[in-house]
Amino acid sequence: MRSHIPNILTSLRILLAITGALALYTSFGLENGHTVFGLTLEPGSRLALDLSRFAFAAFFISAATDWLDGHLARRWQVESGLGSVLDPIADKLLVDLYLLVYTLMLAAPPEVYVPVFAIILRDAAITVRRLMSRSPAETAPVSLTAKLKTALAMGVAGLPLIALPLGWLAYEAVLLIWIGGLWLVAALALQTGLSYFRANGSAND
């Protein structure tokens, strides 16, 4: 049983990423009087508030436990090919889905949606390449740039969850910092993505 725990945790992180992003999108629509997935409620409804709270909790639980599945797999010596594929997918889904929801929620201008879609397309390309690999369990050490990209991406994806309820995004300085972070993540993502493909998929992203 213990050998399956890391992959179960990774699968739960994937589930949290998907359901959290859907909850965030739904709560925003309901708060603004829209019909979302067949639901129409008055702005300020309890359901919309509960969904936004769930989206917040889902993101930060998934982000906070990002290291746990890999740590347990290494500690218990139960690393697997499936885990090496699922773990980066969980990271990418968490960041990409929340960024996509922000883009839809904010009717984002080009300075937002261009880096967001660059990040998503890069992650999709790497995920497809990894899934097509004949030896997914063979991974190289994670580069410092890749670690920085992942940490920064988590921060950029998580910031609006704190800033929106507090009204911080109404301040131009905060918004500019967030947009600058998006472009930096996009630049690092493209750099690490190119390195990954140049290494013929043997490098870790």
Does a structural domain hold residue 132?
Answer: yes
Most confident of 81-85, 131-135, 179-183: 179-183
pLDDT band of 139, cuts 50, 70, 90: low
Domains in the chain: how many in total? 1
Does a structural domain hold residue 161?
Answer: yes
Does a structural domain hold residue 26?
Answer: yes
Question: What is the domain-level CATH number for residue 64?
Answer: 1.20.120
Does a structural domain hold residue 39?
Answer: yes
Mean pLDDT within 39-66: 85
116: CB partners within 8 A, 6+ apart: 99, 100, 102, 103, 108, 182, 186
Average pLDDT along the chain: 85
pLDDT band of 4, cuts 50, 70, 90: confident
The reported pLDDT for the residue numbered 143 is 72
Does a structural domain hold residue 204?
Answer: no
Its domain, for residue 31, covers 2-198
Sign of CA dihedral 93, 98, 101, 102: negative
The reported pLDDT for the residue numbered 137 is 46
Q: What is the pLDDT of residues 13-28, one digit of tens each?
A: 999 999 999 999 998 8
Does a structural domain hold residue 62?
Answer: yes
58: CB partners within 8 A, 6+ apart: 16, 17, 19, 20, 23
Instruction: Select the more confidently predicted residue: 144 or 109.
Output: 109
Residue 49 structure tokens:
């508030």
Does a structural domain hold residue 55?
Answer: yes
Q: What is the C-alpha separation between 109 and 192, in angstroms, rounded?
A: 26
| Reported pTM | 0.88
Does a structural domain hold residue 82?
Answer: yes
Q: What is the pLDDT of residues 77-106, one digit of tens each?
A: 777 777 778 888 999 999 999 999 999 888
Closest CA to 200 of 138, 149, 120: 138
Q: Is a pLDDT exceeding 80 seen at residue 138? A: no
